[in-house]
Structure 1
């Protein structure tokens, strides 16, 4: 079993029980104590678990915590790539789109830059940089101004004012968390407001979020689950979560594994 597969098994056990013991994992996965310790170290570095004496617990999620862009970009990379490929397939040449900040939308941007005659409105510095270095003369990029957040989003009154008279066909939105009651959330109040401004400018909303976002609740709600015309996620989304999402969003797309 590959390290990535073991770590996914460990996360599944944590989601089911909230905590795991190293001794139990060594027996279940048939590997050494040191191998499990290295797996837990790797998961802790990604912010997914809290290490405790003799084992680990699921990482505590505080509603106002906002990890930096670099830290988030290292998490669930294969899942984000799969989501990006599936989401990019929704865009037709000549479309005007908006893209929020986030590491999943950053992955998406690398595929969007190959679509002809595209206009991209974004409040994400990394997304704008990818578009800027595409070398395409038929690609138009509008970067809002605003205050910079830890996730490299531009937010606040300046960004909101820039978006007030924008009209796009599709908005691709990344989120910090998804929950049946709380909806689509973020830990940053200003980012929530700017994302709502982006949402008002769009005819359709496409949410791009991997399975680890399910059950996470940030400080501020951007919109309800029902606001999503399409939600693109990965095959790791649990069956019960898929059922809830399918009931609320317009269309649920499960990206095939990479």
Structure 2
């Protein structure tokens, strides 16, 4: 790779994580050559990524973190990862929301980013089990300014998870009595065998209720979620109408996904995916 001195720290660290995951480990001197930065810069990046829990530093380099299927990172730990991809996904997903819709937003850092793009959509009813998502709308409405859409926000009750979602019987009962035009769903992991999964058993049940209450299900998840499997599955890929992701998803995976979901949207890619159905385009359909 040519000199990359001007890469933002976020971009550089995302490339390091991708390299570690793809190769199963990488050495510092390999990263300095690939990224065109100093040894000290790479070591600082590895320190930061190790603190976030996304890789493990070893002598001379880094390896992936071997996480248990029950490991659940907190909101803050996840919020610093794949920022550019999440922003692109959120912007794309916001274009699927029609004024006057009743939508649901699950917990997660990508749905949190999406909420910020929905502040100007008029007459929305937003149901969420995410404290963070609800705060986006409430803070904007209290401050005036950008909240021209003046959404009606319904925050379910429940027990708070490390990712600041509300789950459990109280949330499940509230969600089960409602009906959404579309659910925007953040996920811990996606795979062919396990479908959509989470390390939190109570969250899995709450997510099942969200899926059951939605007319259409849109997954918003970056490419790093592919191949991750949590303790409990809550939906099959075939239950997903649309997956909005980023260009980091490998081409062979896109082909597999397109056989299972109605529509795969890759941000920045205008190619029509092989599996896209005839009703997969217009926001009004949602």
- TM-score bracket for this pair, using the shorter chain length: over 0.9
Which residue pairs with 2:98 in the alignment? 92
TM-score calculated relative to the size of structure 1: 0.94
Shift of 1:256: 2.5
Indicate the SS of the match to 2:183.
Answer: strand
- Provide the C-alpha distance between the structure 1 equivalents of 2:211 and 2:52, rounded to a whole number of angstroms: 30
Shift of 1:28: 4.1
Q: 1:167/1:27 Cα in 2 relative to 1: closer, same or farther (>3 Å)?
A: closer
Which residue pairs with 2:42 in the alignment? 36
Shift of 1:93: 0.4
Which residue pairs with 1:166 in the alignment? 178
Alpha carbons 1:61, 1:216 under 8 Å: kept? no
TM-score calculated relative to the size of structure 2: 0.85
Shift of 1:111: 1.1
Which residue pairs with 2:280 in the alignment? none
Which residue pairs with 1:133 in the alignment? 139
- Provide the C-alpha distance between the structure 2 equivalents of 1:71 and 1:5, rounded to a whole number of angstroms: 17
Which residue pairs with 1:67 in the alignment? 73
Q: Given the alignment of the two structures, is residue 57 of structure 1 paired with residue 53 of structure 2, yes or no?
A: no
- Provide the C-alpha distance between the structure 2 equivalents of 1:228 and 1:93, rounded to a whole number of angstroms: 22
Alpha carbons 2:119, 2:150 under 8 Å: kept? no
Shift of 1:97: 0.5
Q: Aligned runs of 1:72-221 on 2, under 5 Å?
A: 72-135=78-141, 138-221=150-233
Alpha carbons 2:242, 2:265 under 8 Å: kept? yes
Q: Given the alignment of the two structures, is residue 229 of structure 1 paired with residue 244 of structure 2, yes or no?
A: no
Which is worse superposed, 41-50 or 206-215? Answer: 41-50
Shift of 1:30: 4.3
User: CA offsets, 1:10-64, max 9 Å, x none?
Assistant: 3333233201122333344444322221222232233221101111101222211
Q: 1:151/1:6 Cα in 2 relative to 1: closer, same or farther (>3 Å)?
A: closer
User: CA offsets, 1:55-81, max 9 Å, x none?
Assistant: 110122221111111111111111111
Which is worse superposed, 210-219 or 53-62? Answer: 53-62
- Provide the C-alpha distance between the structure 2 equivalents of 1:30 and 1:51, rounded to a whole number of angstroms: 20
Q: Given the alignment of the two structures, is residue 46 of structure 1 paired with residue 58 of structure 2, yes or no?
A: no
Indicate the SS of the match to 2:121.
Answer: coil
- Provide the C-alpha distance between the structure 1 equivalents of 2:140 and 2:85, rounded to a whole number of angstroms: 24
- Provide the C-alpha distance between the structure 2 equivalents of 1:157 and 1:179, rounded to a whole number of angstroms: 27
Q: 1:196/1:11 Cα in 2 relative to 1: closer, same or farther (>3 Å)?
A: same
Indicate the SS of the match to 1:203.
Answer: strand
